[in-house]
Amino acid sequence: MLAAFDWHILWDRIFRPDSAFASALFATIYIAVISQVLGVILGLLAALMRMSRLRVLQLLSGLYVWVFRGTPVIVQIFFVYLGVNLLFGVTLIPNSLNLGAFTLGGAAFAGILALGFNEGAYMREIIRAGIDSVDKGQLEAARSLGMRHGLAMRRIVLPQAARVIVPPLGNEFNNMLKTTSLLFFIGVMELWGNAEIGYSETFKPVEYFAAVALWYLLLTTIWTVIQSWIERRLAVSERDDSEVTLGERLRSAFSPAYRGRA
């Protein structure tokens, strides 16, 4: 069976990537990063709206989460890419976006928006749980020192909430790295798209798909190590004690509690 396996292709896909592959890898990374950042910003906004005293803002936040968590992300991707301009009658999703040295394709732009908005709905709950985890006395102490709500949030509550937010946020980003593959369906050339095209040209599914799986595995593994390092840093600043060894870091990196999501 393994006789049919062309090791040569796998080897090349991993160790001698061509330029098309390199740009696909780059696309996966920047799309995941920007989408996640967008998701965190939207999630924070939605969380603050949810906790606002204004009923309208609470309702808007609820509506947002209801829609984006209640529909498949692939539908959202297609809807943003193909539907938004028609729906609003203006060009919100351009054919391409010129950012100086870098041109972002319209599909990638739409994909980032869709993934970011989808992610924001999940991040809202994570951020809200983080804020809720901070003792109410903290806000009272801040207010009694003359801080206004915004300042108290920024200086006192959110930094403490971060400790609770970061672990699930890291897991969200792990998911995001993989979910970017859906953008190939609207024509974004990212890792999965690159593999799919390679396969369709050669009809070697095992080699191409094994190679791309290994690349995703590499990305998520690197991220897991970075994530556990960040978590250790956050914990250390409060515990005020010695360095954590690399061994401990790696061991904990491979044993986080993953939260699966389809």
Partner 1 sequence: MTELIVHAVDVEKRFGRLEVLKGVSLDVAKRETICIIGPSGSGKTTFIRCVNHLEKIDGGRIEVNGQLIGYRERNGKLVEDGERSIAKQRTQIGMVFQRFNLFPHKTALENVVEAPVHVLGVPKQQAADEAQELLRRVGLLGKRDTYPGKLSGGQQQRVAIARALAMKPALMLFDEPTSALDPEVIGEVLEVMEELAHEGMTMIVVTHEMGFARVAADRVVMMDDGRIIEEGTPEQLFDAPEHARTKQFLSKIL
Residues 157-216 that bind partner 1 (CB under 8 A): 159-160
Question: Per rule CB under 8 A, is residue 141 in the interface with partner 1?
Answer: yes
Question: Per rule CB under 8 A, is residue 53 in the interface with partner 1?
Answer: no
Residues 77, 182 contacting (CB under 8 angstroms) = yes
Q: How far is the CB of 144 from partner 1 (least distance, A)?
A: 4
Q: How far is CA 234 from the centre of its chain?
A: 20
Q: How far is the CB of 53 from partner 1 (least distance, A)?
A: 11
* 61-77: b (≥16 Cβ within 10 Å) or e: beebbeebeeeebeebb
Question: Per rule CB under 8 A, is residue 146 in the interface with partner 1?
Answer: yes
Nearest to 130 by CA among 167, 182, 94, 105: 167
Q: How far is the CB of 138 from partner 1 (least distance, A)?
A: 6
Question: Per rule CB under 8 A, is residue 240 in the interface with partner 1?
Answer: yes
Question: Per rule CB under 8 A, is residue 156 in the interface with partner 1?
Answer: yes
Judged by phi (left if over 0) then psi (alpha if -120 to 50, else beta), residue 242 lies in beta
Sign of the dihedral through C-alpha 118, 253, 215, 207 = negative
Q: What tokens appear for 220 in the block?
A: 């998520």
Among 143, 204, 232, 249, binds partner 1 (CB under 8 A): 143
Taking contact as CB under 8 A, which single stretch among the options 2-10, 42-50, 153-161, 201-209 is the one that binds partner 1? 153-161
Binding site for partner 1 (CB under 8 A): 135, 137-138, 140-149, 151, 155-156, 159-160, 237-240
